[in-house]
């Protein structure tokens, strides 16, 4: 009995607290179903109260970008709230600009659905769909980058603009987390999606994707992103670093396939010759099309390399002309992008005409 007393007493304390929690949960934490109206009646749902707006969206198959998975740290899952939702929370403030705050823009992963709500999201997200797919090929294109092709099962086709990305659902601890990857295939390929993935030590998404084999099933949502070619006549200056070639490959191939006559430059920097991928394809393309110029560059010289050597920004200086009508499309490691943005500004390119893809 002497040994049992502490156990019994502690059980009484813990047990009664558990009872209190269960009752409280039943009494206070269960909310009634509420109406959710998206984009002025374009979509209407009845959802269970008490969950976050992002959860309510996902439950009803509306996929808005949320790179951090609802932790309030990426600031992507914004939605304009017109009715309901309560005041802005301290956890949202750091992520929103003053203009967004004034316009009622909120982080949907923080807003809880407790009453009927009217919300507005960009129309394109209503077009975003969830795809199931099957891996039909995997190939090492460099020692650390794999090219993986997915055959779409349901829906069977995808409509996207070159430069956009998809969010692959990576299994983790019985749940899934989203990881963003740019589509590398061209727009005309509608029944398949090709991704190029660099293996990152300890990276959840890249490890999962690198271990995939033919026949494996993978789910992803998309397409997302504003990194798309603007409809102008300006010269396109594409700058890629390492695995950042993926969206630019899609852009270059799609444009040339469509017979666009704008002048296109692709500057592509990697560390060594082994790290250059799609090198032959791009060279071939440059020979075939007069308006496409391909300039690969390595960080340091190698005996079998007779191309450009050095930082990509230094190489670009030899090719660009100041004051020309140009648009920049950049994707690569942040320091490279920062340096390139500075360079393009020096050459007279407006900040609004420099687009970059940044989810590092």
Chain residues binding another protein by CB under 8 A are 5-6, 9-10, 12-14, 17-18, 20-21, 24-25, 28-29, 86-91, 114
Nearer to another protein, 94 or 174 (CB): 94
Closest approach of another protein to the CB of residue 6, in Å: 5
Closest approach of another protein to the CB of residue 73, in Å: 15
Closest approach of another protein to the CB of residue 119, in Å: 18
Nearer to another protein, 1 or 202 (CB): 1
Closest approach of another protein to the CB of residue 13, in Å: 5
Nearer to another protein, 28 or 102 (CB): 28
Closest approach of another protein to the CB of residue 10, in Å: 6
8 A C-beta contact, residue 132 and residue 176: no
Nearer to another protein, 21 or 200 (CB): 21
Closest approach of another protein to the CB of residue 110, in Å: 9
Nearer to another protein, 32 or 290 (CB): 32
Nearer to another protein, 13 or 101 (CB): 13
């Amino acid at each position: 009995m002497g040994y049992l007393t502490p156990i019994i007493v502690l059980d009484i304390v813990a047990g009664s607290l558990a009872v209190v929690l269960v009752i409280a949960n039943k009494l206070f934490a269960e909310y009634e179903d509420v109406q959710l109206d998206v984009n002025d009646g374009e979509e209407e749902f009845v959802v269970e109260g008490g969950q976050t707006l992002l959860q309510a969206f996902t439950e009803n198959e509306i996929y808005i970008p949320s790179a951090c998975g609802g932790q309030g740290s990426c600031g992507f899952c914004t939605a304009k709230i017109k009715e309901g939702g309560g005041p802005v929370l301290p956890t949202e403030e750091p992520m929103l600009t003053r203009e967004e705050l004034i316009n009622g823009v909120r982080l949907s992963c923080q807003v809880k659905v407790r009453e009927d709500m009217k919300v507005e999201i960009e129309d394109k997200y209503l077009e975003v769909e969830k795809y199931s797919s099957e891996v039909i090929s995997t190939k090492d294109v460099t020692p650390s980058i794999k090219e993986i092709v997915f055959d779409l099962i349901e829906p069977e086709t995808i409509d996207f603009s070159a430069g956009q990305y998809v969010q692959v659902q990576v299994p983790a601890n019985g749940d899934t987390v989203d990881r963003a990857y740019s589509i590398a295939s061209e727009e005309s390929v509608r029944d398949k999606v090709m991704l190029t993935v660099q293996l990152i030590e300890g990276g959840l998404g890249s490890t999962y994707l690198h271990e995939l084999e033919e026949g494996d099933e993978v789910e992803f949502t998309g397409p997302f992103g504003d990194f798309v070619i603007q409809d102008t006549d300006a010269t396109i200056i594409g700058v890629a670093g390492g695995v950042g070639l993926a969206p630019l490959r899609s852009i270059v191939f799609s444009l040339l396939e469509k017979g666009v006559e704008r002048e296109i430059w692709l500057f592509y920097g990697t560390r060594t010759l082994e790290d250059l991928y799609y090198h032959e394809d791009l060279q071939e393309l440059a020979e075939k099309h007069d308006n496409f110029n391909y300039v690969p560059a390595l960080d340091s010289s190698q005996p079998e390399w007779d191309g450009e050597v050095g930082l990509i920004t230094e190489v670009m200086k030899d090719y660009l002309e100041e004051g020309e009508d140009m648009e920049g499309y950049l994707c690569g490691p942040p320091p490279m992008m920062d340096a390139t943005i500075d360079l393009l500004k020096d050459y007279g390119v407006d900040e609004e005409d420099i687009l970059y893809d940044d989810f590092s």
